[in-house]
Structure 1
Amino acid sequence: MPRFARLFEAAAETLNAYYAALAERNIEALMELWVDEDFVSCICEDGRHLHGLERIRAGFAKQIDEQPSTIEPLDIRVYDSLATVVYAVAEAHRSDAGEKMVFTTYVMVQDRGEWRIAHLHASEMRDEAAGEFTDKLRKGRGVLH
């Protein structure tokens, strides 16, 4: 059993490395976190669909250049199996333009013994949902209560 506990801790390390790479504006570190396959995809919070590593790299490079941001995970739900981990995360995205609340789903797969991102889907929360979410956090209740 300890082997599995360590296995899924490594997936969390990949998620933390993603947040750090964005905060540091390090496109190389960010791209190292993606599985090296043609099927990778990213749906950005603004609705853009990026398929393949080159389009994902170009999309994140543009985002980092135009509007660097930091991400604070506020609520994380984890669904795991032996070869796949899915994180459903409510996040606060902060940049010079302000702050917005975003729901993001990260699908990670094992690739040569390491966890890599295979798909990312981000959706900006509507104001009403963001308000309800932050109210529940302030009251110390989980978002599913």
Structure 2
Amino acid sequence: MQIDLVTLVVEEYDPAIAFFTEVLGFELAEDSPSLTNDGRAKRWVVVRPPGAGTGLLLARADGPRQAAVVGEQTAGRVGFFLRVDDFDASYERMRAAGVTFVREPRSEPYGRVAVFLDIAGNRWDLLGA
């Protein structure tokens, strides 16, 4: 058993794809036309870290209720965790790409950690050695 996808509600597909692929280095696993439950056009967009099994389903907000959770899916808590092999290199690359860090790097018993915001405003932990 495994978790295959986690939905991340975003404002628009293309800027979110660019953030996750160009800034974070994820792979675009799928970008296919699809339909909402009531037959309107949408896209099925999945991004994954290289070699990862679990991916993110980037879902464009559909209506005011979904738009209200963009960037607030975990009510301001860190809700996503990105583990990297080279923390310092990843941190510097992300800063150079304009990623907003809301907590600077610190050392914890489990390794180095810094909190950053994704394109929607959700909080992530960048984790590594």
Whether these two folds match at TM > 0.5 is no
TM-score (norm 2): 0.27
Instruction: Give the helix-richer structure, 1 or 2.
Output: 1
Higher strand proportion: 2
> Larger RCO: Structure 1 or Structure 2 (Cα < 8 Å, ≥ 6 residues apart)?
2
TM-score (normalised: structure 1): 0.24
